[in-house]
Amino acid sequence: MARSVFSRAMPAATCSSAVLSVLLVSSGGCGKKPPAAAPAPSAVTVVTVTPKDEPVSAEFVGQTQSSHLVNIQARVSGFLDKRMYTEGAVVKEGQVLFQMDPKPFQAQLSQVRAALAQAEAAKETARLNLERTRPLTALNALSQKDLDDATGQFQSAAAAVEQARAEVETAELNLSYTTITTPVTGVSSSARQTDGTYISSQNSLLTTVAALSPMWVNFSLSENQMQAYRDQSARGLLRMPKSARYTLEIVLVDGSVYPHTAEITFTEPSFNASTGTFLIRGSVANPEGILHPNQYVRVRVKGAVRPNAILIPQRAVQQGSQGHFVWIVGTDGKAERRPVTVGDWYGDDWFISEGLKAGDRVVVDGGLTLQPGTAVTVKDALSPGTGATSASAPGGR
């Protein structure tokens, strides 16, 4: 009872002060929040644009071809005695490949030689007769007709001798044709005919020999590619080598580069009507025999240059609804979106035709989350062209 009386007896000012204190304590967290901290700048990797003359190359699929493929054929008919070489082996110029039965040809040679001796004897008799007739005719002991007959007999005998000599030469050639050699050094093919086969004009092909050095490399350029090169050259985006002296680099199936370079030795004067392509042939030394005929390789055509080219890594280029663009770090340290016109791929890099200039700092890594005006810090700077590892065919995107 005394406590209740005491409470009622408290002054009004004291009660109001206590209530105010409770309200202030209970509502202390409902006041105005402190301002949020600014986001940290994005860390990016950049490359500084430096235009320079950049050698470029185009890559094509090519196929090797022997520069001298020879069909080894029998020139005479007869029985094939023996194959004298190992199939698939490299044979040397003049090496014997096949031997035909020479006996019939030796007999024929003996026969025509005997005919030649007979013709020479007849010629000698006609000569002596002419020498006796000529002075007698001058003395009018024989008539002019006798002299003409003697002269004609001598000339006829001389012609018979020449004919017999030609027959001897033919027989000697036919006998020599029974020993069949290769006219070139190269890799041999399998024997088309077996020992003991009668060879005639219907089955005269015995084998083939393909020269290994030099080796030809054929590849084709499409009409569209040819026109693209011409357009780029006309616009000054591509500078061709003087006298069109390109260097051909050959890449083997395992990715290794062939140790010898080739030169273009032939270009087809017209397009292939069925494929619409333009045949180009290069010639390359092949002393070790690494290349074989009909082998598929890749051909890199080197010698062209892109003057004042701008080359940046492909990963720096992004694509939006309005085309390709890159992020640029401005002088104020903030990101700027820049539209660009891209050209050809070159290894891991991309040629930029329009949109960049010397000194621009292009974001290579860290640009996926950027927005215009975002503050950035450069954590690393790359040298221009660091992404270019190997050349690729122009036009690929």
Per residue in 131-147, pLDDT (tens digit) is: 999 999 998 888 999 99
Which pLDDT value is given to residue 272?
Answer: 87
Task: Tell me: pLDDT of 54 over 60.
Answer: yes
Task: Tell me: pLDDT of 51 over 70.
Answer: yes
Equal fold, 57-67+212-306 vs 104-175? no
Domain 57-67+212-306: state its class.
Answer: mainly beta
Of residues 87 and 223, the one with the higher pLDDT is 87
Which pLDDT value is given to residue 276?
Answer: 87
> Who's near 305: CB < 8 A, 6+ residues apart?
53, 54, 55, 56, 238, 239, 241
> Who's near 111: CB < 8 A, 6+ residues apart?
171
| Phi/psi of residue 167, nearest 5 degrees | -65, -35
- Select from 3.30.450.20, 2.40.420.20, 2.40.50.110, 3.90.1010.10 the CATH code of 43-53+309-382: 2.40.420.20
Q: What's the CA angle centered on 102, arms 98 and 103, to 5 degrees?
A: 155
> Who's near 56: CB < 8 A, 6+ residues apart?
238, 304, 305, 306, 344, 346, 391, 394
Task: Tell me: pLDDT of 396 over 60.
Answer: no
- The pLDDT of 55-68, averaged and rounded, is 93
Task: Tell me: pLDDT of 208 over 70.
Answer: yes
Which pLDDT value is given to residue 343?
Answer: 84
Q: At what angle do helices 144-176 and 103-138 cross, to 10 degrees?
A: 160
Average pLDDT, the chain: 86
Q: What is the CATH number assigned to the segment(s) 104-175?
A: 1.10.287.470
Per residue in 245-284, pLDDT (tens digit) is: 899 999 999 999 999 999 999 999 888 888 889 999 999 9
Spell out a b/e string for 129-158, using b for 16 or more CB atoms within 10 Å of the CB, else e: bbeebeeebeeeebeeeebeebeebbeebb
Q: For residue 67, how many C-alpha atoms fall within 13 Å in the half-sphere facing its CB? A: 17
Q: 0.85 cut: is pTM over it?
A: no
Q: What is the CATH number assigned to the segment(s) 72-101+178-210?
A: 2.40.50.100
- The pLDDT of 300-326, averaged and rounded, is 91
| Domains of the chain by residue range | 43-53+309-382, 57-67+212-306, 72-101+178-210, 104-175
The number of beta carbons lying within 10 Å of the beta carbon of residue 295 is 16
